[in-house]
Homo-oligomer: A and B are copies of this chain.
């Protein structure tokens, strides 16, 4: 009945991942569910981390990169050396993302152009068929 923790099934349904995935992430030290006997209980912290993991994946970051990034979000319980390392890491990732966004904008523009081209080609092909 503890609202602040979730079972593995609840996690699966809430975030649309498999139990295997959650255990896998734990084995990779991305999540740290507490144990009630054998069973895993996922805390609010785990949920926040999972959201960031799923986000990071969508942008092509590896789980290892994500793991390092996550450290910044747990800045509270860290020493200065570690924190400043995480900080530097995160700044680099940020730069990556900004570059990625710029390139994405370009690619979107290109693809739109190409779509217009395709639309014209299609129209031409259909016109031609009418004349056959």
Contacts and interface: CB of A to CB of B under 8 A. Distances in A.
Interface of A is mostly: helix
Interface stretch (A13-21, A23-31, A34-42, A81-89): A81-89
A119 B55 contact: no
A59 B118 contact: no
Interface in A94-122: 94, 97-98, 100-101, 103-105, 107-108, 111-112, 114-115, 117-119, 121-122
A72 interface: yes
A91 interface: yes
Interface residues of A, number: 39
A90 B103 contact: no
Interface of A: 55, 58-60, 72-73, 75-76, 79-80, 83-84, 86-87, 90-91, 93-94, 97-98, 100-101, 103-105, 107-108, 111-112, 114-115, 117-119, 121-122, 125-126, 129
